[in-house]
Amino acid sequence: MGTIVSVHPFDEEQVKAIQEACPSLDYVSVSGFGADEARAALMGAEVILGWNRDVLKIIHAHGIPLRWLQNLGAGVDHIPLERLQSLGVILTHASGVHPNGISESIFAMLLSLTRNVHIAIRNQQQQTWKPSKIMGEAHGKTIAILGAGAIGLETAKLAQAFSMNVLGVRKSGEPAEWVDRMYTIEQLNEVLAQSDYIVNCLPLTAQTKHLIGREQFAVMKPSAIYINIGRGGTTDTAALIDALQQERIAGAGLDVFEQEPLPQEHPLWKMENVIITPHETGNTPYYMDRALSIVLDNLKYYSAQGKPCRNVVDWQAQY
């Protein structure tokens, strides 16, 4: 009998659901195993749930029986896709668990930067009474959502409550609910030039690497606010810093960076017009429950059809 090996410590009730979803495979959790014991279990796995350094090591071994790897995160840019493809392993991810938490974080940044809440908090820490000379309003403004997937569309839905003009950018250019007008990636600069807020929800792929660079910041409005919750590598950090320092854009809300953790000496830390969070906008107590729903659907389909059905990575698209 084949095995499902999990590197994530699911609780007793969750383990029972996993076993019931795919009774033809034994279930093993290597959480708490020693390195050698964990490696031995992973080497014999037909299905692996989760990703860590031990999984990275075994997929470069020869003769492993692995058929399917279920990543419990949404991003797959840290996983060697070409190696999995060469092995004939199906890769799935947990995209769809993030819309609520991340869209709320996006608007927390957007509203803080608009209403100067971030500055008020810094003044409070210094016990300084210093009213703002002027503050903006988000109502009626134009927001561009780069990457109109589940997170982007939930953000668009919230934006509609602020009577915002919502522009979307997606590879297909196909219309979507809550987005007033959708564009293709080739029309990116046209979208940026119109927008008061730019929200980057893009995955990191060969096509999106440094997609937002000097040319893109140059076409943005001087009053624009740039928010990145997708992947740090989609933005040219040097170009971003220059745009902020030269006041070519008004501010930025950043949860992801090209180098993580962000080094202590990095200039972004000291910029008054920047909000930094440590890659945590997806943090929610409901994360694993939502991810498990995807896992269980995939396990049931795998048990019946020999392959998962949800969130299968497209090797060419790289997500």
Q: Which residues have a catalytic role annotated?
A: 231, 260, 279
Calpha distance 239→252 (Å, rounded):
13
What's the count of helices (H) and strands (E) in the chain, helices before strands?
Answer: 11, 12
For the record, the structure tokens of 241 come out as 């810093």
Calpha distance 188→220 (Å, rounded):
11
Give the residue carrying structure tokens 């729903």.
293
Calpha distance 302→17 (Å, rounded):
14
DSSP E strands in the chain: the ranges are 3-6, 26-29, 47-49, 68-70, 90-92, 142-146, 165-169, 181-183, 197-200, 225-228, 251-254, 274-276
Calpha distance 145→154 (Å, rounded):
10
Q: Are 76 and 318 in contact (CB under 8 A)?
A: yes
Calpha distance 139→130 (Å, rounded):
25
Calpha distance 138→155 (Å, rounded):
14
3 state DSSP class of 26? strand
23-28 CB contacts, 8 Å cutoff, 24+ apart? 23/303, 24/303, 25/1, 25/303, 26/1, 26/2, 27/3, 28/3, 28/4
For the record, the structure tokens of 283 come out as 């943090």
